[in-house]
Structure formats: C-alpha cells, structure tokens
Amino acid sequence: MNIGILDVMQMLFGPVVRLVTYVVNNFPPPPGRWMDVFPRVGKARHRVWILQTWLPYLRGERPYWTEALGTPGLDFRVLLLDPNLAWTRTMCRGGISDLIAQNVKDIWVIHKQAQQDHANPARFSGRFYSCIPFGPIYLIDNDAYWGIYRSDDDSMDGPVFRARLATNLGRQIERSYLAIWNRFDSRTGDLALPDAVQGSPTPPLDARIKNMHSALVPFGEDDIRKCAAQGGVLVVIRHAQTDLNDANIFAGNLDVPINAQGQAAARDKSTRVDGVNWHRILRSPLRRTLQTLDQLLQPGRMLQIEVDEVLRERRMGDVEGLHKERYEMSEPKYAGKGLTSSMFAKAHGGGESYADVANRVAPLLESLILQVSAGNNVLVCSHEGPMRMIDMALRALPELEAVTARISNCDMLCYRR
C-alpha cells in the first residue's frame, strides 16, 4: 500500500483541523467589549435585532443607529423590558422606569429623523418583552452578540461574546429572540410609552364622573341667552389667548396674561353672556381667567366672581414652557398619530394625569349640577384640561375622545337642565 506525504499529513493533522473547525463554529471567541460592537450596527446591511432591559449607551450608539436606519430594506427591531416589570431590576439599579422612558423617547427621535432624511429608510419596529434575559442580545447581520450583566452596577461594562448565526449556538440565540418577539406585546412601528414608564399608577376614577352623563343636556352657545332666560344653564368658557397659546407652548399652571388678540376675542363673545342673570360665576386662580371675564362682563358683575382652585389648568410638570412640536418629537403619545386611551392616565414629571383632573373637578361639578337642576345659571371660566373632563362627564365621552378634543381659546361648553 502506497502512502503519500499528503495522506500522512491528513492522518496526523486531520483530527486537529476538524477539532479546531468545530470549536470555531460552535464556541464563541474570547469576550470583547460592547463599545466595539456598536459601530457594527451602523454597518449592518440586512438586520439589526436588539434585546435589552434598557439601553444605557444609546446616546453613544446614536450615530450608528442613525446610519443603520438610513439603510434601505434593513430590518431594525428593538425589544425593551416591559416597564410593568421594571421593579424586578431595581435591586441592581434604581430608576429603571425612567431609563426605559428616556430610551423610548430617544428611539422615537432617531426613527423620525431617519424618516425625514431618507426616502427609503429601514423598517423599524419595537416591542416590550415580559421575561428576564441573562443579558443584552444584539443580532447584527450574520452574527449574534450577547453579554452578561455585571452585578455591581448592572451595566453593559461586562463581557460580550459573539457567535455566527450559522452555528448551533447562533441559531439557538436567533430562535430565542424570535420566540420572545412573537410572544410578547407588539408596538409595531414605534415603541409606545406606557403609563408605567412614568412610575405613577393610574388613580381610580371618581365614580361620580361616570354617573353624570344624563344630568344636563348640551346645547350651542348661540342659545345661551334664550336658555338662561328659562333658568338652569351651565356655561364653561376657556380663557382667552395668551402669548404662550399663540406660540404653541404648553402653559399649564404658568400664570401668564392674555394678549391683545385674546382681549379682542373675549369682547366679541361678551354679547353671549353679558347681561345674563348669573347666579354664580367661578374662575380658576390663574389671572388669564380673571382677565377673560373682565372682557366678557360689565365691571359691576366682577365683584361676584368666586375663585376655585379646582378649576386651575392641569399641571404639566416638566413639560410646562416647552414648545409642543419639540415635545411631540420626543413623545409619541402626544403626537397626532398612535394615541391610545392610556394617555388618560399619563402624568408628566411632577404633573397631573387627566384622571387626576377628572377626580379633582368631580365634587365641584356634582354641586354645580344640583344648582343648575334647581334653575340657577352658572358661568365658569377655566382651562382646556378641566373643560375636557367636564365635557367627558356630562356627555359620557370615551377617554380617548375626551383627552384629544380641541377646545380653543374662548370656546364655550354649554349645558342646560
């Protein structure tokens, strides 16, 4: 039997080559760093799938996300921890809900910018998952990267491993990602911002709000004088325009005056309410309501005005003073698309939800209904937030319809017994 040199080499080194090939294909290389993985997101050509509790390095990843989202046909997916389970991570790191909220805002801005900058941007979708993974997972084209959280600060400073998706390990990671993706809550298109992100539970709605819908009958403001002559009307007017309204800025509880245009608009409405026999006149503590009534009514009527804290505008927290367009760029729930009824329970940092406002106005509204039903005429000057909740209660509006209703400056909501 003739044995050549190549046969000898194959017998000697073949098993070693097969062993090395098996190890390379089935075991990850030595651990690396996440900061070295992020640039590969920007170079992806057909897939970027990410699973994270939150994205602590998102600001550092921003240029790579921007680059990837501009790639036509790229499948870009993000799985973030369901904020309802954020409490499970607070043992390692506090403020998880706030981090997830900031992530969603950042992702929204990056995605919207990509849509504006590219005629054919990547396909973006996001979901929240409700299980706890062992660490972050990034699937970039044909590679899977995963890491192990460090127990001291729960960050992505721990090691990161890589596996080719053609290997058994890579295929298992891919299948696991898809299983989580297909199982849990879908927010296709854009990650929604659930109420739990804000860290404030939904307050129970005052039962009286749900039992007022048949108490009074709505009517148009053209008939105020006629209905008031018969007795038993409630008219709620929104304050006149301020400079912040004109500039499309959230005013909230900022105490700003009405402007010249607002004064003129209020004077135009005065013929509807001035001279009516009002048994009660109420306003919020903010001066723009006083200035509005000053234009609506003769000076002699002003002495009868009651100030009620319940009628003040919804507290908007850290959103007050912010331009609405800038806010909509970072807050999907307030943009004109994708609104859900959970917005009813949403409270901004340091502010109130609409549910809070509804509960605040319920006792006063109940007493006003009794007075109007007894034949009294009541005039109220308030703000869009409380007026939305009053209208929701008296007309049994769905929450979504109520919180998105447009009530312009000097608009009047009118109800009769």
Q: How much is the pLDDT for 60?
A: 77
Q: How much is the pLDDT for 329?
A: 47
Helices (H), 193-300: 224-230, 243-246, 260-273, 287-296
End-of-domain residue from the set 198, 225, 249: 198
- On whether residue 46 sits in a domain, the answer given is yes
Q: Do 135 and 55 share a domain, yes or no?
A: yes
DSSP, collapsed to helix, strand or coil, labels residue 218 as: strand
- Which residues are CB-contacts of 119 (< 8 A; sequence separation ≥ 6)? none
In terms of residue numbers, what domain contains 312?
Answer: 207-323+334-416
Q: Do 137 and 187 share a domain, yes or no?
A: yes
Distances (CA, A) of 227 to 54, 215, 221, 233: 57, 16, 10, 7
Please state, in angstroms and rounded to a whole number, the distance separating the CA atoms of residues 340 and 333. Answer: 7
Q: What's the CA dihedral at 288, 294, 296, 302 to 10 degrees?
A: 120
The vertex-14 CA angle with 13 and 15, nearest 5°, equals 95
Q: How much is the pLDDT for 340?
A: 42
Interaxial angle between packed helices 287-296 and 260-273, expressed in degrees from 0 to 180 and rounded to the nearest 10: 50
End-of-domain residue from the set 150, 171, 198: 198
In tens, the pLDDT along 91-138 reads 445 556 666 767 777 777 787 778 778 878 888 887 777 665 566 889
In tens, the pLDDT along 20-77 reads 555 555 555 556 778 888 899 999 999 999 988 777 667 678 889 989 998 988 999 9
Read off the pLDDT of each residue in 247-254 and give the average, rounded to a whole number: 89
Q: Do 215 and 313 share a domain, yes or no?
A: yes
Beta bridge partners of 396: none
In tens, the pLDDT along 179-235 reads 887 776 544 334 444 443 344 455 678 888 888 888 999 999 999 999 999 999 999
Q: What are phi and psi of 101, to 5 degrees?
A: -60, -45
pLDDT tier at 385 (50, 70, 90 boundaries)? very high
- Per-residue pLDDT for 382 more than 90? yes
In tens, the pLDDT along 143-170 reads 999 886 554 444 566 778 888 988 888 8
Count of the separate structural domains present in the chain: 2
The residue written with tokens 């209020």 in the block is: 266
